[in-house]
């Protein structure tokens, strides 16, 4: 059957994102973080994949009683994300050794793929008789999705179809198993991911069957009778009704059809991966009911269930969203993968609606909820991202430690943060014929239709951005005016440009530019106090500090513990001080505050605590826990 081709965008994640290969980051915070990932994290992660047996698992070497580690049902997804991140590295710097490593992994996958196209290292080696019998719990289509994304990225990086051909055979098999036809399964994976992956494949191939399969998985979710109940019965297990081992249908976003959902629910990564795929399908097909559901769920997430750092997911119990305005700090989960998936959704909506509010959320999550996920040296990672911590509390809660780890048993976050930062250029710029949008500011270069746009800045530390245009032709340049900026200033070739009237549309200022033009932007960055909605009970009477897009925290490394006894007077002046040798170069904040100290001995006394003057210092939240283990707090009491 010849695939029907469609006229579609072929950018990263579609929807107008610039190709990774067209953007180069220079000096500055984001460029430094990307270079660390490409230069250190990808290599370190490869060694962990080898050490833990994940690479060997691709060859199906496991046998009961052998020395090889027993594969886990989602190991394939770790491999997929690593190949994807390594592919983005190749787009920016060809590396024969890295390419050979990827080719070796792909060769193993190709050699062990079943004749019918199926591939999953866990099921084929451990329980081959149970293929597609427990999608609720065992991640088969989730793993397929990450391998699909890897295949698309690798083909774009190298032109090689080796992994893409493997995954096309697998997708053809999946399309035969799932659907509304006779004998097909009318179900979906317990962990969404394949939906957005199929949409990436659709944009790569133009094959409308991939779009139709993504639509099927979205339309099937949440319908009755519930697929997960039917699965249980087929396994001769007693259905749990609406409750699986304490996990309800909403944990899997299967409590209602997608078009009827309005609140973001359940496991935070699953919910936002699904939402990213639904956004892709809704705007590709023009489905207005799906669009309404997407926008409502996004608003539910960002307006009522998101932390000040852009993190999402309020509890480790189910790694999930809880309820509106429930945002505890010390037990915050805010999994790095969830924060990355929020960026995926925000980037899609940003490109589709051209509304700055989505770019603002993307920037907040990037600087304050994704960058913390990897250490400054690129060799250790956070799974959860707390907003207040005492290492002793983490130990007794059996939570993820307040110290980055080289790897995890469930290692979804390390390769996820690597693929995000390695592909960062595609989030920074959006393109269309004759048009370039600047969504994020960082020292960088983008090539588009014969023009080279050179962005020179030390953002987010410096408030000044300069864009110089080289090459031939003209383009409309759309410049994001950050929502946090009160008094932006813009100049074109040295002359002031008014940002009033129709110049700024949905937060983007547009100018026509050609070779030799220079646009200068100034985004004043005073230190600002941030207050939570009073319905966020955990933060009542407390204040957080931001400067530009950067959120700050107080660490025990700078202020004697306990940090929770510190208070910031409402009228205290907070100064920003550049520290070039601290944490790779950061803007530190400093103010005179007070510390509450017990005025009498005893666990409970009738004498009010006394206040002592103290100098309080804040560092960017993304850089915390790079100087050893200690207490940390984002929200201080305001006196």
Which are the catalytic amino acids?
Answer: 319, 412
Lookup: tokens for 265: 């629910």
Return the bridge partners of 495, or none.
492
User: Which phi and psi angles does 457 have, rounded to 5°?
Assistant: -170, 160
Helix intervals (H) in 93-134: 96-112, 121-125
The DSSP letter of residue 47 is H
Contact 376, 354 (CB under 8 A): no
Lookup: tokens for 214: 């993504």
Q: Are strands 518-522 and 527-530 parallel, antiparallel or unpaired?
A: unpaired
CB atoms closer than 10 angstroms to residue 102: 23
Strands (E), 523-599: 527-530, 542-547, 550-555, 566-568, 575-579, 586-597
Instruction: Specify the residue for token string 């084929």.
Output: 124
Q: Is 483 helix (H, G, I), strand (E, B) or coil?
A: coil
Q: Is 503 helix (H, G, I), strand (E, B) or coil?
A: helix
The DSSP letter of residue 427 is H
**Exposure string over 615-638, b if 16+ CB within 10 A, otherwise e:** ebbbbbbbbbbbeeebbbbbbbbb
Rounded-to-integer distance, Cα 308 and Cα 564, Å: 18
> Measured in Å, how far apart are the chain's first and last C-alpha atoms?
71
| 500: exposed, middle or buried (Cβ count in 10 Å: 0-12, 13-18, 19+) | exposed
19 Cα distance to chain centroid: 18
Contact 72, 125 (CB under 8 A): no
The DSSP letter of residue 323 is S
**Exposure string over 581-611, b if 16+ CB within 10 A, otherwise e:** ebbeebbbbbbebbbbeeeeeeeeeeeeeeb
Q: Is 517 helix (H, G, I), strand (E, B) or coil?
A: coil
Radius of gyration of the chain measured on its C-alpha atoms: 25
Contacts of 555 (CB under 8 A, 6+ apart): 563, 619, 624, 625, 627, 630, 631, 632
């Amino acid at each position: 059957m010849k695939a029907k081709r469609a006229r579609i965008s072929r950018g990263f994640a579609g929807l107008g994102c610039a190709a990774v290969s067209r953007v180069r980051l220079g000096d500055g915070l984001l460029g430094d973080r990307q270079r660390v990932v490409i230069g250190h994290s990808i290599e370190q992660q490869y060694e962990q994949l080898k050490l833990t047996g994940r690479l060997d698992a691709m060859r199906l070497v496991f046998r009961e009683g052998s020395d090889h580690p027993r594969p886990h049902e989602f190991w394939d997804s770790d491999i997929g994300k690593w190949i994807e991140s390594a592919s983005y590295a190749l787009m920016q710097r060809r590396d024969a050794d890295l390419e050979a490593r990827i080719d070796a992994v792909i060769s193993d996958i190709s050699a062990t793929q079943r004749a019918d196209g199926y591939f999953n290292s866990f099921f084929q080696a451990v329980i081959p008789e149970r293929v597609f019998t427990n999608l609720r719990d065992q991640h088969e289509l989730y793993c397929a999705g990450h391998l699909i994304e890897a295949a698309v990225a690798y083909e774009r990086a190298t032109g090689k179809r080796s992994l893409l051909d493997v995954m096309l055979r697998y997708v053809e098999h999946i399309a035969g198993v799932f659907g509304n036809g006779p004998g097909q399964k009318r179900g979906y994976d317990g962990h969404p991911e394949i939906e957005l992956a199929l949409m990436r494949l659709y944009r790569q191939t133009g094959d409308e069957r991939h779009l139709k399969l993504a639509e099927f998985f979205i339309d099937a979710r949440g319908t009755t009778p519930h697929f997960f109940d039917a699965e249980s019965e087929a396994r001769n297990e007693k259905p749990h009704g609406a409750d699986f081992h304490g996990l309800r249908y909403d944990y899997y976003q299967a409590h209602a059809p997608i078009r009827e959902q309005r609140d973001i629910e359940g496991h935070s990564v699953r919910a936002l991966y699904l939402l990213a795929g639904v956004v892709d399908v809704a705007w590709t097909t023009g489905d207005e009911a799906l669009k309404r559901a997407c926008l409502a769920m996004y608003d539910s997430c960002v307006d009522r269930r998101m932390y000040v750092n852009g993190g999402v997911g309020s509890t480790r119990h189910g790694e999930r969203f809880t309820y509106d305005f429930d945002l505890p700090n010390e037990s915050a989960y805010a999994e790095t993968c969830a924060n990355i998936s929020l960026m995926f959704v925000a980037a899609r909506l940003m490109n589709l609606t051209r509304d700055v509010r989505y770019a603002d959320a993307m920037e907040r999550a990037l600087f304050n909820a994704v960058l913390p996920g990897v250490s400054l040296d690129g060799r250790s990672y956070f799974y959860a991202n707390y907003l207040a911590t005492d290492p002793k509390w983490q130990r007794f809660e059996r939570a993820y430690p307040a110290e980055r780890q080289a790897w995890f048993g469930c290692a979804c976050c390390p390769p996820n943060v690597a693929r995000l930062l390695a592909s960062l250029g595609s989030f920074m710029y959006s393109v269309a014929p004759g048009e370039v949008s600047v969504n994020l500011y960082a020292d960088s270069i983008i090539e588009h239709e014969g023009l080279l746009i050179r962005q020179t800045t030390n953002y987010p530390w410096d408030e000044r951005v300069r864009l110089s245009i080289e090459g031939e032709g003209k383009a409309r340049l759309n410049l994001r005016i950050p929502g946090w900026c009160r008094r932006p200033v813009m100049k074109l070739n040295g002359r002031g440009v008014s940002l009033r009237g129709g110049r700024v549309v949905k937060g983007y200022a547009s100018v026509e530019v050609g070779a030799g033009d220079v646009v200068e932007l100034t985004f004043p960055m005073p230190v600002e106090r941030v207050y939570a909605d009073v319905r966020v009970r955990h933060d009542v009477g407390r204040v957080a500090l931001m400067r530009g897009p950067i959120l700050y925290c107080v660490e025990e490394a700078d202020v004697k513990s306990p940090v929770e006894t510190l208070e910031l007077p409402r009228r205290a002046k907070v100064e920003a001080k550049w520290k070039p040798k601290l944490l790779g170069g950061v803007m530190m904040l400093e103010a005179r505050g007070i510390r509450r100290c017990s005025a009498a001995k005893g666990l409970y006394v009738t004498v009010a605590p006394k206040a002592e003057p103290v100098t309080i210092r804040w560092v960017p939240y993304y850089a915390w826990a790079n100087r050893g283990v200690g207490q940390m707090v984002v929200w201080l009491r305001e006196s």
